[in-house]
Structure 1
Amino acid sequence: MTLHERVAIAGVGETRYVRAPGSGRSAIALQLEAALHALDDAGLRPQDIDGVIPFSLGPMIAEDFITNLGLRDLNFSAITPLGGASPVAALQCAGAAIAAGICSTVLLSVGRNGWSGARATDRTADMLQFRVVNTFERPLGAISPAQLYAPMARRHMETYGTTSRQFGEIAVTMRRHACLRPNAVMQAPLTLAQHQASRMISDPFRLLDCSLESDGAACVIVTSAERARDLRQPPVLLLGVGEGHPDSPSAISQRDDLLTLGTAKAARKAFAMAGVTPADIDVAEIYDCFTYIVLCQLEDLGFCRKGEGGPFVEAGHIALGGRLPVNTHGGLLSQAHVGGMNHIVELARQLRGQGGAAQVAGAELGLVTGYGDMGDGAVAIFRRG
């Protein structure tokens, strides 16, 4: 079975993104607001939703949506426990359920209190995917994502000559794009010198190599391609999708290859289903928990060869007006950290031609990725309907 052009994004919604202590809004309240925005965007009612995929790391379950939105007859619910790859993996899950006739319209949701809520840096103690990390990495002091991924970035630097300034080019570009988005948390321009002067978090990651902690929620509604054509917005058709897990998926330190993510496997599947190549992509929304992860995914996706990510970003190719505009909303680095669901929202808007000041002219084909905590990857390719 293929999902090629069988399902589409019909509605998107998001809340205001903020970094404000004590905002008083729970992650559940934020997700309900984003869900209502997505329904309105699509021209649907809560009763039209018969499938729900909440974020695997969030507080909401299907029953919360039923109770609070008044869903009448939910036929399908699931979670996709791939960390930051979950929202893009959920696109595949929703598409499969719709194509199989199990349900017709699925709501995908992410909401976080990353700034105002309680934050624990020792994430490895609570998350199931870190069970093996607790044996191999945690005893050495690696208790946060920055510490887990820093050796991957350092290996790339030592192997290919990649520099911190090249990581900085990614941060600066994301900030430039965020400044075109009123809903982005970070609105002040960023220079390469400021990036280089920011404090070290976990060598080679500086503060400005790291994604934001923020409050907010985003939701996406997926339905059949046929039904989407009858709704309020131009449909954004799914061409191809895939997920992949790195070799030795449970412990980074046990891998023979630190420099290839699950994205590489997911990309092969997604491009094959879509029937397109990296050269055909007009705009990409790439999961950016850290600057290096963007660079590594650019290589794994085939936009440049392994080891050439540094020169690729340094040449300005990922900026608006470049060969491959990336994260036109500012991404997790500068818009907000919403588990990557905001990347899907942004891609839908770009392919509808609703990107505002950050619109990529003539964008017809776009790609979005997710990246999970131990290197899981998910990739989806869409076209304007």
Structure 2
Amino acid sequence: MTSHPLYGTTAVAGVGLRQFKRGAAPLPERSLLVEAILDACAEAGLDPAEVDGFVSYGDDKNEPVRLMPDLGTRRLSYSAAVWGGGGGGIAGAFGVAAAAILSGQASAVIVFRALAEGASGRMSAAVMAHHLNDHLLAAGLVAPAQMCAIRAQRLFEHHGVNPALVEDLVRASYHHGRTNPEAVAYGQDFDIETLRTSRWIAEPFRLYDCSRENDGAGALLLVSAERARDLAKPPVYLLGCAQGAEAGWGDLMENDADDLYATGGFRAVARDLYTQTGLSPADIDCVQLYENFDAQGVMSLIDHGFCTYENAAEVIRFDNLIAQGGALPVNTAGGNLAQGFIHGIGLPIEAVRQLRGESANPVAGARTCLLAGGPGAPTVSSAIFANAVL
């Protein structure tokens, strides 16, 4: 056991998720979020009026003070957000929330993300505002898919990673989504030819290589580990969290830092996370992996030490990535590709459900789960959760 202050000192006590087809949400965005928060508190058996802190990421537009009347909040003690318009900050939000609790600034913190096209517009606008500077726009790079596509080509052509293995990551996502009643892919058989013949987005990406937005909201209630043990659901402990970027990573990386170009930006973050927790990739029982695009998911797995450029094809195989007997189960609810995409908030919710034994695709004996934020974002983050303090 490590002595790091984050290790096992806070825990998720409740989760809530509301998801709908993009543009089809029956309620305004803030109302969806309020319902998700109420669901998370109801799971935990906590009066929502006791929530006194809120943390989000990715330019969420729901200012916490505006949630107070609907939740009956008695006192707002803490509110914060992780910088950046992409999903890189999703895991970092838990570190921020834990810091608020451990420093005594808040006692019950909601980590959330809400997205409804009718209120916030397309999410790509927020992402583009943070990823695309003037020199990129002048070169004709006007969308995140284009930037990520060029990096994907380098992964395949320069580093020699077989492009076919991304299909196994997609297949595993749809395999899990097929049995998850909350997933957009629920009950559907996925034929890989659907991916191979779908329309081009930015070569090498076709439509089914890409995450596609949903309306909805997700919320997770974080409290101290001691308090979580007195609430209704089994606690899921935060063991560690790391965020940031190493030198050479950022807006100018299209021209600089050659060795970083075909990565997800996690190398330094992953080292910090494993150092914090005293764990290694071999200690991780499953992964909830943010895949804005499937090739970036491959980069993330490499960055976190689950494989290398050279042996990626040995690890990233369909049978190895599924909950039913795989050594590295990934995105066991379907992930951004097949569960649904509310800027990735479904991923930590599945981490919690998996470690409680409530997943639609349970991993036998799972004790730990790694959450990886959005690869390629200017700031990235990762966290490790567990169902016991190891």
Same-fold call, TM > 0.5?
A: yes
Please state if 1:333 is matched with 2:332. Answer: no
- 8 Å CA contact retained: 1:166, 1:311: no
Q: 2:347 maps to which residue?
A: 343
Aligned residues: 379
Runs (4 or more) in structure 1 with deviation over 4 Å come to 114-117, 120-125
Q: Structure 2 matches for 1:344-363, cutoff 5 A? A: 344-356=348-360, 358-363=361-366
- Judged with a 3 Å threshold, the aligned counterparts in structure 2 of structure 1 residues 373 and 319 are, in CA distance, closer, same or farther, namely same
| Letter matched to residue 59 of structure 1 | K
C-alpha deviation, 1:369, in angstroms: 1.1
- 8 Å CA contact retained: 1:244, 1:264: no
For residue 148 of structure 2, give the secondary structure of its aligned residue in structure 1.
helix
Q: Say what the alpha-carbon RMSD is for the aligned residues.
A: 2.0
C-alpha deviation, 1:105, in angstroms: 0.9
Please state if 1:267 is matched with 2:270. Answer: yes
- Judged with a 3 Å threshold, the aligned counterparts in structure 2 of structure 1 residues 176 and 375 are, in CA distance, closer, same or farther, namely farther
Q: 2:134 maps to which residue?
A: 135
- Judged with a 3 Å threshold, the aligned counterparts in structure 2 of structure 1 residues 278 and 114 are, in CA distance, closer, same or farther, namely farther
For residue 355 of structure 1, give the secondary structure of its aligned residue in structure 2.
coil
Q: 1:147 maps to which residue?
A: 146
Q: Structure 2 matches for 1:246-325, cutoff 5 A? A: 246=246, 247-256=248-257, 257-314=260-317, 316-320=319-323, 321-325=325-329
Q: Deviations over 1:73-113 (max 9, x none)?
A: 11111111232022211100011111111111101111112
Q: 1:197 maps to which residue?
A: 197
Q: Deviations over 1:114-150 (max 9, x none)?
A: 489743755566x2x23xx322211222121111111
TM-score with structure 2 length normalisation? 0.92
C-alpha deviation, 1:265, in angstroms: 1.4
Q: Distance in 2 between matches of 1:79 and 1:293?
A: 24
Q: 2:82 maps to which residue?
A: 80
- 8 Å CA contact retained: 1:283, 1:367: yes
Q: Distance in 2 between matches of 1:294 and 1:282?
A: 17
Q: Distance in 2 between matches of 1:55 and 1:347?
A: 18
Report the identity percentage. Answer: 32
Q: Distance in 1 between matches of 2:22 and 2:252?
A: 35
Please state if 1:368 is matched with 2:371. Answer: yes
| Letter matched to residue 201 of structure 2 | I
Q: Structure 2 matches for 1:178-193, cutoff 5 A? A: 178-187=177-186, 188-193=188-193
- 8 Å CA contact retained: 2:160, 2:309: no
Point out the more displaced range, 250-259 or 74-83: 250-259
Q: Distance in 2 between matches of 1:80 and 1:194?
A: 36
- 8 Å CA contact retained: 1:6, 1:237: yes
- 8 Å CA contact retained: 2:265, 2:376: no
Q: 1:160 maps to which residue?
A: 159
Q: Deviations over 1:193-219 (max 9, x none)?
A: 221112211011111100011111110
Point out the more displaced range, 164-173 or 335-344: 164-173
TM-score with structure 1 length normalisation? 0.93
Q: Distance in 1 between matches of 2:119 and 2:82?
A: 25
C-alpha deviation, 1:22, in angstroms: 4.3
For residue 94 of structure 1, give the secondary structure of its aligned residue in structure 2.
helix
Q: Distance in 2 between matches of 1:100 and 1:144?
A: 40
Q: Distance in 2 between matches of 1:21 and 1:381?
A: 33
- 8 Å CA contact retained: 1:156, 1:162: yes
C-alpha deviation, 1:311, in angstroms: 3.9
Please state if 1:65 is matched with 2:67. Answer: yes
Q: Distance in 1 between matches of 2:284 and 2:126?
A: 35
- Judged with a 3 Å threshold, the aligned counterparts in structure 2 of structure 1 residues 191 and 114 are, in CA distance, closer, same or farther, namely farther
- 8 Å CA contact retained: 2:351, 2:371: yes
| Letter matched to residue 239 of structure 2 | L
Q: Distance in 2 between matches of 1:374 and 1:273?
A: 22
Q: Deviations over 1:341-369 (max 9, x none)?
A: 2110100011111113x011111111111
Q: Distance in 2 between matches of 1:266 and 1:106?
A: 24
C-alpha deviation, 1:384, in angstroms: 0.7
- 8 Å CA contact retained: 1:8, 1:222: yes
Q: Structure 2 matches for 1:214-229, cutoff 5 A? A: 214-229=214-229
Q: Deviations over 1:263-307 (max 9, x none)?
A: 221111111111111111111101111101110011000011234
Q: Deviations over 1:13-61 (max 9, x none)?
A: 111x222544342221111110010000111011211111134422201
- 8 Å CA contact retained: 1:122, 1:143: no
| Letter matched to residue 90 of structure 2 | P
Q: 2:45 maps to which residue?
A: 43
- 8 Å CA contact retained: 2:9, 2:238: yes
